Structure 1
Amino acid sequence: MPQSRMMLVVTGDDFGYCPRRNQGIVDCFQAGGLSNVSLLVNAAAAKDAADLAKRHNIPIGLHANLSEGVPVCESLQTDSTLVNQRGFFHGKMGFRQALQRGLLSMKQVELELRAQVRLFMELTGHLPHHMDGHQHVHVLPGVREVFAQVLSDLSIRFTRVPVEAGLHSCTWLPPPLHRFYNQVEQDALDSIPVFTRYGIRWPHMYLGLTTMGHNMSVSNLQRALHLALSAGRSGSSSGGGSDSDQPVVTAELMVHPGYPSLHQQGGCGEGPDDFSRSADRQHELSVLRDPALLEVYRQERVQLCAFKDL
C-alpha cells in the first residue's frame, strides 16, 4: 500500500458478551474487518473472549462497564450507589439519571474501575492497550475525572473520545437517538481538557455513531471516512491523541459485529439485550468483511491498526 492517508483502529465492542458475539468478532478479525477489541470483563463469556484474543493475537483493551449487569468489585454488589435493589447497575439511562441527581459515589466508581482493570489483567495477563466506556459512561461529568485518574495511575495511554464528523448532518438517525448522540458528543468535548491534563491520548478522529446496526453500509462507512479525513486534515479534530503535524490522520471506528445472541445466553447478569438478540450485529459483521469495504480501504489508503500501533 502507498503512504497511508489514515491509520484506522476498528474496535469491536462488547467482546465477552456471549459466545456468539465472541465468535462473530473472531470471524470478523480473521477476515480483516476489525483490528482491535474491547472486553467487557463482567460479561458471561469474558474468559472465553480473553482466551480467544490470546489464541488469535487480537489486540485487546477494556470496555469499562458501569451501566449493565453486576459490579466486579464484591463490596459494591450490595448496598452501593452503583446498583439498584436487585443488585444490578442502573442501566444506560438510569446511570445518567442517578448521576444528574448526585446519587452516585465517585469513590465507588473508582473502586469498580480499578477492580475491572485487575480482572482484565487476570484474564489476559497484561494491562489494557486502551480503555473506553460501555455506553460512553467514561465521558460523563464526574466519571471522566475518576476515569482519567485511573488511566493515568496505571499508565493506560489511550481512550476513546466520541466526537464524530458529520453527526449533525446525518439524516437517517431518529430524533431521540440523534439527541442522545449529541449529548454524548458534548460530554466527549467536555472531557478533552480532563484527558489532556492527565496525558491521555486518543486518535484524531472518531467514527461509529452514525453507522451502528442497520445504519452500517459500505456507502455510509465511506461517507464517514471521507468526513473524518477531511476534518482531520483541516485540523478541526479534537484529537489530542497524536502529533497534529503528522501527515497521516489517525481514527477509531467503533463497531459491534457478532451473531445474534440466543435467548438468555450471554449478557452481564440479566441476559442479552434487544440489540444483542437482533439481526443488527450480524449485519455489521457482513458489512465489515465485505470485499467492497476492504477495497474502499485500499482505494482510500486506509491502513487498519490497533491502539498499540499508534
Structure 2
Amino acid sequence: MPQPRMMLVVTGDDFGYCPRRNQGIVDCFQAGGISNVSLLVNACAAKEAADLAQRHNIPMGLHANLSEGVPVCQSLQQTSTLINQRGFFHGKMGFRQVLERGQLSMKQVELELRAQVQLFRELTSHLPHHMDGHQHVHVLPEVREVFAQVLSELKIPYTRVPVETGLQGCPALPTHLRRFYAQVEKDALDSIPVFTRYGIRSAGCDTGLWPDVYLGLTTMGQNMSVPNLQRALSHALAAGPPGTTSSSASGSYQPVVTAELMVHPGYPSHPQEGGCGEGPDDFSQSADRQHELSVLRDPSLLALYSQERVQLCAFKDI
C-alpha cells in the first residue's frame, strides 16, 4: 500500500464477555476485520480471552467497567457506592443517575479502576496498551478526573474520546439513541480539558493519547453496513487531523488521519452463558453481533480500505 491517508484502529469491545463473543472476535481478527480489542476483566470469559489474545498476538487494552456486573476490588463487593442492593454495579443508566445525585465515591471509583488494571496485568503479564470505558463511563463528570489521573500515573498511553463527525446528521439513529449519543459527545468534549491537564493531548503530538477521529456510534448493530462505514470514513477523512484540511496542493505533504472505529462483533451469547455476573444482556444475545462480524469480514469492506488507503493498525502503531 502507498502512503496511507488514514491509520485506523478497529477495536472489538467487550472481549471476555462470553466464549461465543471471544470466538467471534478472534475470527474477525484473523480475517483482518479488527486490529485491536478491549478486555472486560470482570467478565466470565476474561481469562479465556486473555489466553486467546496471547495465542493469536492480538493487541489488547482494558475496557474499564463501572456499570455492569460485580466489582473486581474485593473491598467494594459487599458495601460500596458502586453497587446496588443485589451487589451489582448500577447499570448503564443507573450509574449515571447515582452519579448525578452525588452519591458515588470517587475514591471507590479510583480503587476499582486500579484493581481492574492490576487484574489485567495478572491476566496478560503487561499493562494495557490502551484503556477506555465500558458504556463510555470514563468521560462522565468527576469520573473523567479520576480516570485521567489513573491513566497518567500508570503511563497507559491511549484512551478513547467518543466524538463522532456526522453523528447528528445520521438518519438511521432513532431519537432516543441520538439523544443519548449527543450526551456522550458532550461528556467527551468536556473530558478533553481534563485529559489535557494530565498531559494527555491529541494524537498529532508525540504524547497524544487519542486518535484524531472517533467512529462507531452511527455504525453499531444493524446500522453497520459497507455503505455506512464508507460514509463514516469519508466524514473522518474530510475532517483531517486537527488544524489541517483534507485537500493539499499537488505533491505537498498530506498528514495522515488517525482514527478509532469501535465495533462489537461476535456470535450471539447463549441465554445462560456470559456476562459479568448477571448473565448476558440483550445486546450480547442479539443477532446484531453476528451481523457486525459479517460486515467487518466482508471482502468489499477490506477492498474499500485498500482503495481509500486506510491502513488498519493497533493503538501502539499510531
Same fold (TM over 0.5): yes
Q: 1:106-146 CA deviation, whole Å, 9 max, x = no partner?
A: 00000000000000000000000000000000000000000
Distance of 2:81 and 2:178 partners within structure 1: 29
Task: Choose which of 240, 250, 263 in structure 2 pairs with 1:255.
Answer: 263
Q: SS of the counterpart of 1:8?
A: strand
Q: State the alpha-carbon separation in 2 of the partners of residues 46 and 74 from structure 1.
A: 17
Match of 1:62, SS state, is: strand
Cα 1:8–1:77 change in 2 (3 A) is same
The change in CA–CA distance for 1:110 and 1:31 in structure 2 (over 3 A counts) is same
CA contact (8 A) 2:212 2:241 kept: no
Question: After the TM superposition, which residues 223-238 of structure 1 pair with which residues of structure 2 at under 5 Å, given as runs?
Answer: 223-233=231-241, 235=243
SS of 1:104's equivalent? coil
How far the C-alpha of 1:270 sits from its partner, in A, is 0.2
Shift of 1:236: 7.7
Seq. identity, %: 83
Structure 1 pair 246/44, CA: closer, same or farther in 2 (3 Å)?
A: farther
**Residue pairs, 1:181-260, within 5 angstroms:** 181-200=181-200, 201-233=209-241, 235=243, 247-260=255-268
2:203 matched to which residue of 1?
none
Partner of 2:205: none
Determine the structure 2 residue equivalent to 1:285: 293
Any idea what SS the aligned residue of 2:145 has?
helix
- Secondary structure (helix, strand or coil) at the match of 1:61 reads strand
Structure 2 unaligned spans of 5+: 201-208, 246-252
- For residues 118-157 of structure 1, the aligned pairs below 5 Å read 118-157=118-157
Q: Give the 3 Å change call, closer, same or farther, for CA 281–236 of structure 1 in structure 2.
A: farther
Corresponding residue for residue 23 of structure 1: 23
Residues 182-221 of structure 1, C-alpha deviations (whole Å, 9 max, x = no match): 0000000000011111122100000000000000000000
SS of the equivalent of 1:71 reads: coil
What is the aligned partner in structure 1 of residue 5 from structure 2?
5
Q: CA RMSD in A?
A: 1.2
Shift of 1:235: 3.5
Aligned residues: 303
Aligned to 1:94: 94
Deviations 1:87-124 (A, max 9, x none): 00000000000000000000000000000000000000
The superposition leaves residues 45-87 of structure 1 with CA deviations (integer Å, 9 ceiling, x where unpaired) of 0000000000000000000000000000000011100000000
- In structure 1, C-alpha distance between the alignment counterparts of 2:275 and 2:244, rounded to whole Å: 38
Measured in 2, the distance between the counterparts of 1:235 and 1:177 equals: 30
Consecutive aligned runs of 4 or more in structure 1 exceeding 3 Å deviation: 233-237
Sort the Cα spacing of 1:306 and 1:79 in 2 relative to 1 into closer, same or farther, 3 A. same
Is this contact kept in 1: 2:241–2:258, CA < 8 A?
A: no
Give the deviation of 1:264 after TM superposition: 1.1
Task: Provide the rounded CA distance (Å) in 1 between the counterparts of 2:16 and 2:254.
Answer: 35
- Could you say what secondary structure the match of 2:240 adopts? helix
SS in 2 for 1:136: helix
CA distance in 2, matches of 1:24, 1:176: 29
User: Match for 1:268 among 276, 287, 298?
Assistant: 276
Check conservation: 2:212, 2:242, Cα contact below 8 A.
Answer: no
**2:14 aligned partner:** 14
What TM-score do the two structures reach when normalised by structure 1? 0.96
SS of 1:162's partner is: coil
